[in-house]
Structures are given as C-alpha cells and as structure tokens.
A and B are shown apart, each in its own frame.
Chain A
Amino acid sequence: MAAEPWQKAEIPGPTKSFIIQKPEVAATLIKKAKHPVLIVGHEAVEEISNEVKLIEYIVKIAKAGKIPVVASGKSFAEIKKFIPVSLMSIVEVGNKLIDPNWSGVDGLGSHDLALFIAIPYYVEWLVLSGIKHFSNIVTISLDRFYQPHASWSFPNLTINDWIKNLNILIRALEGG
C-alpha cells in the first residue's frame, strides 16, 4: 500500500516522515542512537490474529536493540512479565520527550530516538506531531500504518508484511 495516512483525512503539513522501505534502515538508526526508547501503547495486548501476539515482537525488539521500554495501560502489566518496563501514559511520554531536561525513562538522560508501537492511530498521529514540532528527537513508528508526523515510518502494510518487517528488524538488531 502507498505511503499516505491510513486515516485519509489526517493530512499532515509540509514536513512528512520518510518511509522505511527496508527495516534494516530502522535498525541502523536505532544502533546509531545514543539513548533510544521504545514506547508501547495499550494495543499491544490486543489480538492481531490467531497466530500473532504483538507483545512477543515488542519484547524481542527491546531485547535485541537493548532498548529501554515504557508502556501504557494493560500493555505494561503484560510486558513486565518478560522484561523491565516503565509505566507511563502516552500523553505524558510525549510531554516529557520534548523536555530536554528530562532524565529519561531509565534515569540516564534525555532520549535522542523514540520508537512507537501499539498506539491507536490518531493518538500516535497527534503525539508524534507534538514531538515533531517541539523537539529534535528522531521518531520511528513501527506500527502497521503510515504515520506522517514521525521522522520515519512504515508505509501502510498488511498484517503479514508488517510481521515480516518486524522480524527483519529484530534480526538486523540481533546481528549488530
């Protein structure tokens, strides 16, 4: 599918995200980052399909990239069964990310790259807009649908292609 907003009326402005054609590009950006963070919304616990459990991919990405994770809602309770995770709402994360004095989710300082996944489309759209306008943080949307306010985003994908891309990303992170 083409790189246009999933919800068609959510037209962005003149500055739109680059499309992640190859997940390896996202892996390179993550590896280059000094202090990345993975932000997980409450939809991580929702069923994608009978075979796919998104939580498993999120945990693998965090482990492979050694990325601190912050999650909202029910996702926090689920992720903490597998890896360390901080609890914070999406609106609070967005507000803190634009604060250069924030000590970060792990207390190790502000973040220079933020990955987003499992957040309702329109919520992520708006929070990414806030970050785009009021900070210089690089943002990557790992969600299934194109997020124009991110620095980098997948295009609109089928579930199969999305999972394929997440697997490539995980392998690329593990490989490095």
Chain B
Amino acid sequence: MSKTLKLKIGELKTSLGEIKDFEISIGKILEETWEEEVGPTPFPSISDLRNWDLKLLERYKPFYMPFCDVCCLCTMGKCDLTKDKKGACGLTMPAQQSRIVLLACCIGAATHTAHARHLVEHLIEKYGRKWPIDVGGVSVEVEAPIIRLVCGIRPKTLGDLEEVLNYVEREIVKLLSATHTGQEGSFIDFESKIFHAGMLDHVAMETADIAQISAYGFPKADPEAPLTEIGFGVVDKSKPVILVIGHNVPSAISIVDYLEDNGLKNEVEVCGICCTAHDLSRYDPKAKIVGPISWQLRFIRSGIPDVIVVDEQCIRADALSEAQKIKAPLIATSEKNCLGLIDKTFEQPTNVINELVNGVIPGALILDPEKVGEIAVKTALLVAPKRAKFKATPDIQGVIEGAKKCRKCFECSRACPNNLPIPEALTEASKGNLKNLAELLDLCIGCGRCESACPIDLPIHSFMEVAAEKNLKEEKFKIRVGRGAIQDVEIRQVGSPIVLGEIPGVIAFVGCANYPKSGKEVAEMAEEFAKRNYIVVASGCAAMSMAMHKNGEGKTIYEMYPGVFDAGGVSNVGSCVSNSHIAGAAIKIASIFAKRKLRGNYEEIADYILNRVGAVGVGWGAMSQKAASIASGFWRLGIPVIVGPHGFKYRRMLLGKKENQENWYVYDARTGEKVYVGPAPEHLFYSAESKEEAIVMIPKLCMRPNDTTKGRAIKLTHYIDLHKKIYGTLPNDLHLFVRTVADIPITMKDEVLEFLKEKGWKENIIPDPTLLPRLIRKRRE
C-alpha cells in the first residue's frame, strides 16, 4: 500500500503575499511495513524499462508484414509507404506498422483498464474502500504479483487499487500520445512502447480480477473449483431465458442475486456467452455457459433467449438488431456500449419493464448494475410467454428452397475469413442434403460476413444453424469454473521442476475464438500436452473451446485432468482478466521459489523468467486488440506467444534467428563470462500456419538456458518425438539445443549422437544465465 501526501491551505498571509485555497499533492509515500526494499523501477514510466526492451528486441527482431501499404491517419495523407518511401510526416513503413500495433495495444490496455476502473468503483460503492483484497486466504500470500512487481506496492484493500489504476491510466495516455503525427519516429521505440502497453494491460487485468475475486467471493485459487455446464444444448428452454454477453460481470451478478433474493432461482434460466459467462459461473456455478464469442449469432437466432443483457467488449455491434429479429428485448449496461438506446437508468423499473415487454422500446440503457437484475428478470418472466421462443431461422424446407436460389457467385466464400465452401454446401442443400452445411458450422467463426456479402440476402449463417440443429441440441459439456490465482504452495511445489526443466513447460491456451478450423484444435493441442505432463492452463474463449470436445469415453479435458497447477494438470483460471494469474504464476516462481526480490524489480524478474521459466502462451484464435496487448505483456516478461494463422494479421512477428550465433549469448552470473546457450527460446511472437506446426513449436519454445541436463533431456524428448510424429524426421536444428551429451534423451542417444556428429557439434557449458550485467556475482578470490 502507498499513500499520497496532500497539503491544503485555506488562506495564508505572509510578507511575500497571500495564498487562498492552495492544495498540493506530493507524490507517493511507499508503505513502510513491507520490509522488502523498493527495486529500481516502481511505477515505471514510459522509458524506464526501455533498456530491457532493447535487449529483447536485439534478439527478437520485428518482421513486419504490412496489412496496409498506406497511412491515412492525418490530412496530409493518404501517404504511400511502399518499400522505403516516407510519409509526409517522415514516417517509414516499419515505424508505421509498429505504430499501428501500439495503437492496438493501447486500445487493448485501455479496455481492460476501463473495465477495471468500473469494477473497482462499483465494488467500492457496494463494499467500501476498506474491503480486503483476498484472492486465496492463507494459500496466497502474494496476492498481486504483477502489481507488486510493476508498481512496488502491496494492495490490501479495494481502495488501494485506485492508485494502481491512476498510474496505468496516466501511462496509457502517454503511450497513445506517442502515436500522434510528429511524435515517435523510431520503429524500435514504438516496439518498446508496445511492451509497456502490454505490461500496463497485465496490471489492469490483475486489478480487475483480484477486485472481483475478493468482493464477489469467486473461487479463491481453488484447484478443485466446481465443474459446470457449457454448450448450446445445456440451456433449459422451458423456462424464461436471460442471456448475458460480454466481460464485465456486475449486471449479470445482479440478475442472479435478484433471482435468489426473490425465490425465483428455479423459475428463470441464466446463461452467458464469452467472459461474462466465465465470471458468472465463478459467482454461481449453476449459471450456464453457452459458449465462446463465436456462439453469439447462432444462439441469439435460435430464439432461445427471452432477454439479452450486454455489458462490454467483444459483443456484436448488431446485437440489438439481432435481438429484434427474435423479438427479445435487449438491455445495455455499459456506457462504453450504449447501442443507441435511451438511458432509462433513472426511470421507474416498472415503466421500463412495461415498455420492454410491450415492444414500445426495443431495448434500454440501464447504467446501474443493481437495477439491471430486477428489470431483466421481470421482463423475462413477462416476455417469455408472449414470445414462445420466436426463432429467426427458417425451417428445413426453407433452407432447401433458399439454397435453390443461390447464384454460385462465391461472394460468401470470398467474404468468409476461412474461405469456407459455402456455395458447394448450398448446392447439396438444394438437393435436400444438409450434411455439408451442418459441418460448416463447426468451422464457422460466427462473423456473418457471408450474409452481408450475399447479393440476394440469403441468411446463410441461419441456414447452417438449421442444418446443424441436432448437433447443437446435443452440445453438452463440462468445464471447470475459473479457479483464479495459482496458490503459493503450488508454486513452491512446481518451481524447482519447472526451473530445472523437469516439468517440460507451462502451456497457456488463451484468447479469442477466431480459429482457422474448428475450436476442437485447441482441445486437441491442450490434451497433447496435458498427457505429456506439461502444466496446461487456460482462460477466456480458449478455455471454453477446450471444454467443447469429448474423448472416446464421453469426457471433456476438464473431467479427465485435475485442475491443479502441476504436471498433467489442466487449470481454467477464468475470464480474459484472469490471464493475469498466468503471468502472475511465472512471476511468483521467481519470487516465491527463487526468492528474487519482487518489489519494483521488473527487469530482474523478466530476465529470470526469460532464462528459466519454460512457459509459452498459445492464442490459437487471437482476434482482438486486447489479445494483442495481453501478448505484449507476456513478451516483456520473456514469455513467447504463438498465435494461429489469423494471427498473421497482427502484422508483425518477433522472431529470433537461430543461425546467428552472436544473438544467443548470455552472461554466466557466476563468472561474468559470455556463454553461448543456443536459441532458447527461439522466438518471442510467432504465427503458426497449422495446428501441426504449433504442436512442434510449443515444446521447442519451452526450452530455456537454465534447464538442467535432466530437464533438457525431457524437453528434447517431447520436441524430437513430436517432430518425428508430424514431420517424420529428427529436427534439423537439434544440435543447437543439445549443450552436453547428458542433454540427450537416453532412449534416443545413438540416433542423436550420429546426427550431432554430422553437424560437427561441440559441447557447451551450462551457465547461470542472465542478460543483465548487474546480476553478475563477483568472481571469488
């Protein structure tokens, strides 16, 4: 906790003059009860960690793939930046690309920060500024590893989080200002600022999640958090159904509370899409999860929801018109997403309900979460009998007749992000065979661009939904609700085997549902690594997609593997903002297990993670600006991120060049000598073209210079095994990852030794690795 000293003078007369209503606020007085000394960078400003960023960027250089050849951000443009042309302001293409990435990351960080600000203010109003931060009782002493690391304070109450947000907001404004014409001109400095935005984003996410865990009593670092239901088919359609969509849960919670308080819990079904659903299930495990972000259109059009309540982030901009198609009133609850609705916050709930039920208004803006519960529930109870589940989809005959009208112009395929063969499926449908259309829904990201593109306005997405109706009804799975933080005791148990390499890695499946193929690929990847005894963690839409696939015994991954943060465990930490617990776990390994100082000591902790903690993030369906800023927060901490093929559209990767030996030296902290450690980890931001490519890249990016020989042998076993399984050969870069003969997996020894001989391999020493000269211990005399 820190304090600000405020001095206020009402009126002061001196020989020098007169002062009236003078107020001065003096910086921050850092808490004295925390014995740990303050590190070098508490509340780091925009350039305080620049040197660390430049070290990373020297090794992991940006590869820009411009998504647009021109700049249109000022009235001197448009400017053609092709090849080495400069814009009217003097900016080059690399700088423009990194500038756009910075803009995206500022949007992402600002979104989580505004989310956190709303939550903290709301919770303070409800529970008071002194409400204690408690994310795991005695199991979690380091309650806010990111805030401790970045800000150098220990937040003890909700009120303490305000100062954290003040800092983040201030920094984001500075970063955003750097994108103005005539500000930053260097691509490498834009890149450093991107890292800063990512770090701030992680602070904001942690703020939001520890606030809601503490106040709402979500599972507190619980590896045995309950299982709940997920899937299109789990919703009880016989009851009035309220659908919540978004990320900011107070309004959804007020619905559940209203039902509870009024004995209506069994009368109304509450279900959700996207992270609000995650967080609602953390509050009430009986609340059902429909699915990830891409389930919005299909579920709304099914006609099942009687009332739709939206809060913020990743909600379809046409949610209101889609709701109108099924005659379901929509309640908007966030000032960031008003949808053109009239603000009814201060009107009598009875009047608002009447207007909604009778269709006088299609929806209402209600900005007080406490009022949303009553209005949503009463509206649902009154609307449901009137609607009788009015669908926005045709019947099967309607699909067949519609399909016959298709002109085969291919506009739908050309608009589809995944280039799905829609015209071919419609041809089959026109003959009465709906199988192909049904199969497409599994590959569909639910964007609806096919319909927008269709010159004869065929409701193609609805056609797919009708074709797949039977599959959707049977879509019933189990997911473990978000557990929140990782316990300190879990960190103590796995710290050593992770750092020494004996647990081959921590794989975090995160992000959105913009998949190149089915979300099933995420479940398959997660299981591949869980069964290989990696620690698998998940959050957000990826955590949902992992649940929506069953094995041969009819079980989902959450039923097959325990929710512990340990080898072979599969944890769902929760919603988007719960990603902070994944970064937090890496930080806690440095702090709790290795006892590195945490307080305002970012560079040292990131150096530790980069060189010792074999963690990799996988955003297979990463879509949003938030996903970009989340990834950049991981990069600055030294954690590589792999995205799926649509991730190429983030327009730049951070790639190492393994053949450039000079890039892969570290200091041996014992002696100060520079030691070659091989390309570990090889890349910081990497886009894979296919699942198979990712499956081989993941174990490779888990290797770290600090791995013991035993640990490296385990990691190499998985890398070699998966490489052989998919490519049929030994990895051609294997010699770069073998430091000593003892690194070679025992069962592969002959084969690997022969390969190493061909490559002219020589043994290297294994150092105590660091990129920071200040961490070199003096040579003993």
Q: Which residues of A are at the interface with B, using a C-beta cutoff of 8 A?
A: 6-9, 12-15, 41-42, 72-74, 76-77, 80, 86-87, 89-92, 94-96, 98-99, 103, 119-123, 126-127, 129-130, 132-134
User: What CA separation (Å) do A74 and B690 show in the bound complex?
Assistant: 9
- A72→B689 contact, CB < 8 A: yes
Name the contact of B70 in the complex, choosing from A6, A13, A96 (C-beta under 8 A): A13
- A126→B692 contact, CB < 8 A: no
The interface centre, meaning the residue of A76, A91, A123 with most chain B CB atoms within 10 A of its CB, is A91
Chain A residues near B648: list those with CB within 8 A. 91, 122-123, 126-127
- A120→B516 contact, CB < 8 A: yes
- B689→A95 contact, CB < 8 A: no
Chain A residues near B65: list those with CB within 8 A. 94, 126-127, 129-130
- B688→A77 contact, CB < 8 A: no
- Knowing A13-B70, A89-B693, A94-B63 are in contact, say whether A126-B649 is a contact too (CB < 8 A): yes
Closest 10 CB pairs of A and B: A13-B69, A130-B65, A126-B65, A95-B63, A42-B690, A73-B690, A126-B648, A77-B728, A14-B80, A15-B82
Chain B residues near A6: list those with CB within 8 A. 414, 419
Closest chain A residue to B732 by CB distance?
Answer: A87
CB of A102 to closest CB in B, whole Å: 8
Chain A residues near B689: list those with CB within 8 A. 41-42, 72-73, 89-91, 119-120, 123
Residues B700-747 near A (CB distance < 8 A): 726-729, 732
- A123→B645 contact, CB < 8 A: yes
The interface centre, meaning the residue of B63, B411, B653 with most chain A CB atoms within 10 A of its CB, is B63
User: What CA separation (Å) do A90 and B728 show in the bound complex?
Assistant: 19
Closest chain A residue to B66 by CB distance?
Answer: A129
User: What CA separation (Å) do A120 and B64 show in the bound complex?
Assistant: 18
- Knowing A14-B80, A42-B689, A121-B419 are in contact, say whether A95-B69 is a contact too (CB < 8 A): no
- B80→A129 contact, CB < 8 A: no
- A91→B646 contact, CB < 8 A: no
User: What CA separation (Å) do A133 and B70 show in the bound complex?
Assistant: 12
- B82→A133 contact, CB < 8 A: yes
CB of A87 to closest CB in B, whole Å: 6
CB of A47 to closest CB in B, whole Å: 11
- A91→B687 contact, CB < 8 A: yes
A-B contact pairs, 22 of them (CB 8 A): A9-B415, A13-B80, A15-B69, A42-B689, A74-B692, A77-B727, A87-B732, A89-B688, A89-B693, A91-B655, A94-B65, A98-B63, A122-B648, A126-B67, A127-B65, A127-B648, A129-B67, A129-B69, A130-B64, A130-B66, A134-B64, A134-B93
Name the contact of A13 in the complex, choosing from B64, B82, B697, B726 (C-beta under 8 A): B82
User: What CA separation (Å) do A90 and B411 show in the bound complex?
Assistant: 28
- A77→B726 contact, CB < 8 A: yes
User: What CA separation (Å) do A73 and B651 show in the bound complex?
Assistant: 21
Chain A residues near B664: list those with CB within 8 A. none
Residues B646-704 near A (CB distance < 8 A): 646, 648-649, 651, 653, 655, 657, 659, 686-690, 692-693, 697
- A7→B727 contact, CB < 8 A: no
- A73→B693 contact, CB < 8 A: yes
B68 CB within 8 Å of chain A: yes
Closest chain B residue to A76 by CB distance?
Answer: B727
Closest chain B residue to A80 by CB distance?
Answer: B728
Seed contacts A13-B70, A13-B80; 13 additional CB < 8 Å A-B pairs: A6-B414, A7-B419, A13-B81, A41-B689, A42-B693, A73-B693, A76-B727, A89-B689, A89-B697, A94-B63, A95-B63, A119-B689, A126-B65
Chain B residues near A120: list those with CB within 8 A. 419, 516, 645, 689
B83 CB within 8 Å of chain A: yes
Chain A residues near B686: list those with CB within 8 A. 89, 91
User: What CA separation (Å) do A145 and B64 show in the bound complex?
Assistant: 23
Q: Which residues of B are at the interface with A, using a C-beta cutoff of 8 A?
A: 63-70, 80-83, 93, 411, 414-415, 417, 419, 453, 516, 645-646, 648-649, 651, 653, 655, 657, 659, 686-690, 692-693, 697, 726-729, 732
User: What CA separation (Å) do A61 and B220 show in the bound complex?
Assistant: 60
Chain A residues near B411: list those with CB within 8 A. 8
User: What CA separation (Å) do A86 and B729 show in the bound complex?
Assistant: 11
Closest chain A residue to B92 by CB distance?
Answer: A133
User: What CA separation (Å) do A171 and B744 show in the bound complex?
Assistant: 48
CB of A116 to closest CB in B, whole Å: 12
CB of B725 to closest CB in A, whole Å: 10
CB of B680 to closest CB in A, whole Å: 16
CB of B443 to closest CB in A, whole Å: 13
User: What CA separation (Å) do A92 and B653 show in the bound complex?
Assistant: 10
CB of A148 to closest CB in B, whole Å: 10
Chain B residues near A90: list those with CB within 8 A. 689
- B69→A72 contact, CB < 8 A: no
Chain B residues near A123: list those with CB within 8 A. 645, 648, 687, 689
User: What CA separation (Å) do A132 and B85 show in the bound complex?
Assistant: 13
Chain B residues near A132: list those with CB within 8 A. 82-83
Closest chain A residue to B414 by CB distance?
Answer: A8
Closest chain A residue to B733 by CB distance?
Answer: A87
The interface centre, meaning the residue of B82, B689, B729 with most chain A CB atoms within 10 A of its CB, is B689
User: What CA separation (Å) do A29 and B419 show in the bound complex?
Assistant: 30
- Knowing A42-B689, A120-B516, A129-B67 are in contact, say whether A95-B653 is a contact too (CB < 8 A): yes
- B80→A122 contact, CB < 8 A: no
User: What CA separation (Å) do A77 and B692 show in the bound complex?
Assistant: 12
Closest chain A residue to B68 by CB distance?
Answer: A13
User: What CA separation (Å) do A145 and B417 show in the bound complex?
Assistant: 14
User: What CA separation (Å) do A103 and B267 show in the bound complex?
Assistant: 70
CB of B227 to closest CB in A, whole Å: 35
- Knowing A8-B415, A122-B649, A123-B648 are in contact, say whether A92-B655 is a contact too (CB < 8 A): yes
Chain A residues near B651: list those with CB within 8 A. 126
Chain B residues near A126: list those with CB within 8 A. 65, 67, 648-649, 651
- A87→B729 contact, CB < 8 A: yes
- A87→B414 contact, CB < 8 A: no
Closest chain A residue to B80 by CB distance?
Answer: A14
- B93→A133 contact, CB < 8 A: yes
CB of B75 to closest CB in A, whole Å: 19
User: What CA separation (Å) do A130 and B687 show in the bound complex?
Assistant: 14
User: What CA separation (Å) do A92 and B81 show in the bound complex?
Assistant: 24
- A91→B69 contact, CB < 8 A: no
Name the contact of B83 in the complex, choosing from A8, A91, A133 (C-beta under 8 A): A133
User: What CA separation (Å) do A40 and B358 show in the bound complex?
Assistant: 60
User: What CA separation (Å) do A8 and B449 show in the bound complex?
Assistant: 11
CB of B449 to closest CB in A, whole Å: 9
CB of A53 to closest CB in B, whole Å: 18
CB of B419 to closest CB in A, whole Å: 6
Chain B residues near A130: list those with CB within 8 A. 63-66
CB of A173 to closest CB in B, whole Å: 26
Chain A residues near B649: list those with CB within 8 A. 122, 126
Name the contact of A72 in the complex, choosing from B63, B82, B690 (C-beta under 8 A): B690
User: What CA separation (Å) do A121 and B417 show in the bound complex?
Assistant: 10
Chain A residues near B415: list those with CB within 8 A. 7-9
- Knowing A91-B686, A94-B63, A120-B516 are in contact, say whether A73-B692 is a contact too (CB < 8 A): yes
Chain A residues near B655: list those with CB within 8 A. 91-92, 95
Chain B residues near A87: list those with CB within 8 A. 727, 729, 732
- A14→B690 contact, CB < 8 A: no
User: What CA separation (Å) do A41 and B648 show in the bound complex?
Assistant: 14
Chain A residues near B726: list those with CB within 8 A. 73-74, 77
Closest chain B residue to A74 by CB distance?
Answer: B692
Name the contact of B64 in the complex, choosing from A14, A72, A133 (C-beta under 8 A): A133
Chain A residues near B83: list those with CB within 8 A. 15, 132-134
CB of B436 to closest CB in A, whole Å: 14
User: What CA separation (Å) do A7 and B648 show in the bound complex?
Assistant: 15
Chain A residues near B453: list those with CB within 8 A. 8
CB of B86 to closest CB in A, whole Å: 13
User: What CA separation (Å) do A75 and B419 show in the bound complex?
Assistant: 20
Chain B residues near A80: list those with CB within 8 A. 728-729
